């Protein structure tokens, strides 16, 4: 190694060690960005999985093994949903904190799309109910609409950041959300718990394992 290329007080090892230091640092930066994403997938995985299993078990025609009173199942679902939304907002802000510039606009539009689409689907559902949509069909519409919303936005995220996990997750969510209505109510709750919740949990697990293996 050429001595005049080095600072005396900061010796660098051979080229292989230098390259490892460089790549290790870049991996650390990417990991720091990815940690909140893994948490988000985990949180939403638990919410879809436990929340919709609770709803399914809260319906007399649902879970054949045991039933949870609806006055317990519904609040459990709502509390988990609200907690997940709050956690996502907090984690979302952390992903790119301290950074400004060209990519901030993309990130802000991506963040806004969750709120905008979430509100639009809620208003559409309320409008449909006001026009006579039955509670049974509303039970099919709302969860499917939100699975489709998540799937669509994840496809947008995949395009923005060339992110494979969002691409796969988006496609699975679209497929499960679209198919869930065919199971009828409350069978759709089980389909969404397993399909959407499972997809989020697998995504969180896969990213965590790949991260531990150094990608």
Which of 66, 71, 100, 135 binds other proteins (CB under 8 A)? It is 100
Which range in 24-32, 72-80, 181-189, 205-213 contacts other proteins by CB under 8 A? 24-32
Q: How far is the CB of 163 from other proteins (least distance, A)?
A: 14
- The answer to whether 121 and 132 have CB atoms below 8 angstroms apart is no
> Rounded to whole angstroms, how far apart are CA atoms 192 and 202?
14
Alpha-carbon torsion (150, 155, 161, 165), positive or negative: positive
Which range in 37-45, 67-75, 101-109, 141-149 contacts other proteins by CB under 8 A? 101-109
Q: How far is the CB of 37 from other proteins (least distance, A)?
A: 15
Residue listed under structure tokens 């923005």: 160
Tokens describing residue 90: 């907090």
Query: Is residue 214 a contact residue for other proteins (CB under 8 A)?
Result: no
CB contact set of 149 (below 8 Å; sequence gap of 6+)? 117, 118, 121
Query: Is residue 134 a contact residue for other proteins (CB under 8 A)?
Result: no
CB contact set of 158 (below 8 Å; sequence gap of 6+)? 164, 166, 167, 170
Which of 79, 99, 123, 124 binds other proteins (CB under 8 A)? It is 99
Tokens describing residue 33: 């960005």
Which range in 8-16, 61-69, 77-85, 190-198 contacts other proteins by CB under 8 A? 8-16
Q: Kindly list the residues in this chain that would bind other proteins in the complex (CB under 8 A).
A: 2, 4-7, 10-12, 15-16, 18-19, 21-23, 25-26, 28-30, 32, 97-104
């Amino acid at each position: 190694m050429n001595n005049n290329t080095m600072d005396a007080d900061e010796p660098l090892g051979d080229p292989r060690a230098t390259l490892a230091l460089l790549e290790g640092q870049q991996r650390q930066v990417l990991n720091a960005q990815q940690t909140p994403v893994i948490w988000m997938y985990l949180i939403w995985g638990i919410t879809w999985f436990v929340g919709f299993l609770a709803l399914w078990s809260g319906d007399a025609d649902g879970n054949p093994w045991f039933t949870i009173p609806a006055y317990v199942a519904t609040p459990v679902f709502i509390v988990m949903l609200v907690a997940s939304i709050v956690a996502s907002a907090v984690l979302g802000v952390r992903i790119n904190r301290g950074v400004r510039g060209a990519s901030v606009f993309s990130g802000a539009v991506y963040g806004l799309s969750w709120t905008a689409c979430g509100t639009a689907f809620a208003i559409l559902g309320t409008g449909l109910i006001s026009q006579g949509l039955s509670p049974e069909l509303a039970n099919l519409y709302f969860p499917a609409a939100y699975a489709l919303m998540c799937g669509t936005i994840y496809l947008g995220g995949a395009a923005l950041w060339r992110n494979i996990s969002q691409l796969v997750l988006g496609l699975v969510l679209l497929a499960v959300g679209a198919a869930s209505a065919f199971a009828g109510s409350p069978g759709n709750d089980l389909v969404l718990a397993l399909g959407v919740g499972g997809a989020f949990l697998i995504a969180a697990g896969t990213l965590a394992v790949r991260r531990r293996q150094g990608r």
